[in-house]
Each structure stands twice: as C-alpha cells, then as structure tokens.
Amino acid sequence: DTEVTQTPKHLVMGMTNKKSLKCEQHMGHRAMYWYKQKAKKPPELMFVYSYEKLSINESVPSRFSPECPNSSLLNLHLHALQPEDSALYLCASSQEKSGALGNQPQHFGDGTRLSIL
C-alpha cells in the first residue's frame, strides 16, 4: 500500500461532465504534484504545489483545474474533457528542503484511471 491515497481508482465520464480527482498524504510533505501518464509512456508533469501555493503549471489546458485546500490534500477538478485526456492521473508528494523543488524524491499514489467517453 502506498502512503499517497488517490480516489477514485477508476472514473468514466462524458465530455460534458464535471468531476474531481482527490489525493491525500499524511507524510508531512509540503510539495504535491499531478502527473498524467498515457499507456506505455512515462509520467508527464502537470502541476506542482509548494506550501499550498501553485508553483508550476506546465501549460495545462484550463479544463484541468488544480486545488490544494491544505497541506495534506490535493484535488484536480475536471470539466469538458476530451477523449485524448483519457489516461492514468498520478498524484505525488515530496519533502521540500532549502526552498528548492525537486531535490527530494517523490512518492506516488496508484493513480486514477480516467476514461472520457
């Protein structure tokens, strides 16, 4: 079992639906991440939060809206998605030391497998 919990594990939605993915960690990490992973491809960074503030947005379309309500929770709100958005969405967290992101290893959840009809 991972220490980063993602819900739901699977999600099927239509292109007009609104849904949210949730991620929770209790390791005291202050950096949290969303990645998208297509089949047989590596994870691709979408967003990074540091101390509950958005630090990095990798030019992700606005139909994906992240939110970090507190240091343990990370949400990804979905609206008007396209079929090509079907993928595994991974949440990760890491410590943050010396004010520099990325110098500590990330710990991943098992992801939400999203299918857009």
Partner 1 sequence: QKEVEQDPGPLSVPEGAIVSLNCTYSNSAFQYFMWYRQYSRKGPELLMYTYSSGNKEDGRFTAQVDKSSKYISLFIRDSQPSDSATYLCAMGNKFYFGSGTKLNVKP
C-alpha to C-alpha distance for 55 and 41, rounded to whole angstroms: 25
x-marked contacts with partner 1 along 19-38 as a string, rule CB under 8 A: --------------x-----
**CB 19, min distance to partner 1, A:** 20
C-alpha torsion 106→86→53→32, nearest 10: -20
C-alpha to C-alpha distance for 17 and 50, rounded to whole angstroms: 29
Residue 106 near residue 1 (C-beta atoms within 8 A): no
Q: Does 41 bind partner 1 (CB under 8 A)?
A: yes
Q: Does 81 bind partner 1 (CB under 8 A)?
A: no
C-alpha to C-alpha distance for 49 and 47, rounded to whole angstroms: 7
Binding part of the chain for partner 1, among 12-20, 60-68, 71-79, 98-106 by CB under 8 A, reads 98-106
Given the rule CB under 8 A, which residues bind partner 1? 2, 4, 6, 33, 40-45, 48, 56, 90, 92, 100-111, 113
